[in-house]
Amino acid sequence: MRIALFPGTFDPITLGHVDIVNRSLDLFDKIVIGIGTNVNKQPMYSEAQRIEWIQEIYKDDARVEASAYTGLTVNFCKEIGAKYVIRGIRFVSDFEYEKTIADMNRSLDNSIESIFLTCLPQYSSVASTLVRDVIQNGGDAGMFLPDVVRNSIYSK
C-alpha cells in the first residue's frame, strides 16, 4: 500500500491544500494529512477544529484521513507506514525551503521520499499565514477556503 503524509499546520486548511491532496489521490492508496506542531507559530484554530474540517471535507473518501502529530515528520511517517511525504510548491523560493526539509528528512531516514507538487496558478497566492492575517483583520478570506471552513468561520 502506497501511503503518503501531507504535513503542515493547516491553520486553516485552504483550497490550495485541498487541491494538492486531490491531485495526489491518483498517486497514492492513502493520504494522511498530518497536522504538525510548529513551535514557532501560535495556531489560530484548535487542533481539534482543524481535524474536524479535514474529516468533513473528505468524509466521502476513505483514502484520506487527518491526524495530529508532534516530533519529527520521519518518525510520524514510520508510525503510519508512509514512505512518501507530499510537499506543495507555490513559488521558486518554496522549492528551496522544501528541498532543504526533504534533504533533512532523507538524511534522517533514507527510505522516505519527498514528492513535490506545484500548485495550480489560481492557488499560488493562497497561504494559511496570509489567510489568517485577512481573517484577523476583519477581511473576507472565504474565496480561499473550502466551503466547510468558510461556513464555520463566517457563520459565527
Catalytic: 41?
A: yes
Q: Which of 24, 50, 128, 132 is catalytic?
A: 128
For residues 16 and 102, give the distance between their C-alpha atoms in angstroms, rounded to a whole number.
20
For residues 5 and 80, give the distance between their C-alpha atoms in angstroms, rounded to a whole number.
9
Q: Which of 50, 87, 90, 132 is catalytic?
A: 90
Q: Which candidate, 102, 70, 106, 108, places its Cα nearest to that of 89?
A: 102
Backbone angles phi, psi at 66, to 5 degrees: -120, 140
Q: Which of 41, 46, 59, 107 is catalytic?
A: 41
Catalytic: 128?
A: yes
Q: Are 81 and 1 in contact (CB under 8 A)?
A: yes
Catalytic: 114?
A: no
Q: Are 20 and 117 in contact (CB under 8 A)?
A: yes
Q: Which of 17, 50, 87, 132 is catalytic?
A: 17
Rg of the chain in Å (alpha carbons):
15
Active site residues: 17, 41, 90, 128
